[in-house]
Amino acid sequence: MKNLRVLAIFFASASLGASGGYAQTNSEAIPLLAPRDVLSEFDLRRLEYPPRALELAISGNAIVQCTALPAGQVSGCIIVKEPPEGAGFGPASLRVMRNARLPEVEPATGERTFRVVFQFTLG
């Protein structure tokens, strides 16, 4: 049996307001966070390698965009990019993001958009 690994790529610090690791959309910067910034160790271990990708013996990644609510809940997650498309990396990432949480932010800040990058590697 092949050794499977799901790697969390770190692009930015855990704080939504921190500098570094930003994606540009229009004129607004969107923070890029690592899966470990929004998921517990338990949830990270539950991230499963997509069956279709296993069948094809391919690696890939997914970029998921979500909204952080003031109390730390995460909602409205969508797949932004999933190369290679159709291998199941995006849906696998969305499933685990159902349990994501962020540190509470100031109520005045309101909702914040952020992205998480997941990398899946056959090893």
Read off the CATH number of the domain in which 88 is found: 3.30.2420.10
Say if residue 92 is exposed, middle or buried (CB neighbours under 10 Å; 0-12, 13-18, 19+).
Answer: buried
Q: In this predicted model, what pLDDT tens digit does every residue of 86-112 receive, in sequence order?
A: 999 999 999 999 989 887 666 666 788
Q: How many domains does the chain have?
A: 1
- Report how far residue 57's alpha carbon sits from residue 55's, in angstroms, rounded to the nearest whole number: 6
* pLDDT score of 109: 67
Ranges under pLDDT 70 in the chain: 1-28, 104-109
SS3 content of the chain, % helix, strand, coil (to 5): 20, 35, 40
Range of the domain at 23: 4-109
Whether 39 is in a domain gets the answer yes
- Number of Cβ atoms within 10 Å of the Cβ of 26: 6
How is residue 101 annotated by DSSP? B
Whether 64 is in a domain gets the answer yes
Are the C-beta atoms of 90 and 79 separated by less than 8 Å? yes
* pLDDT score of 108: 61
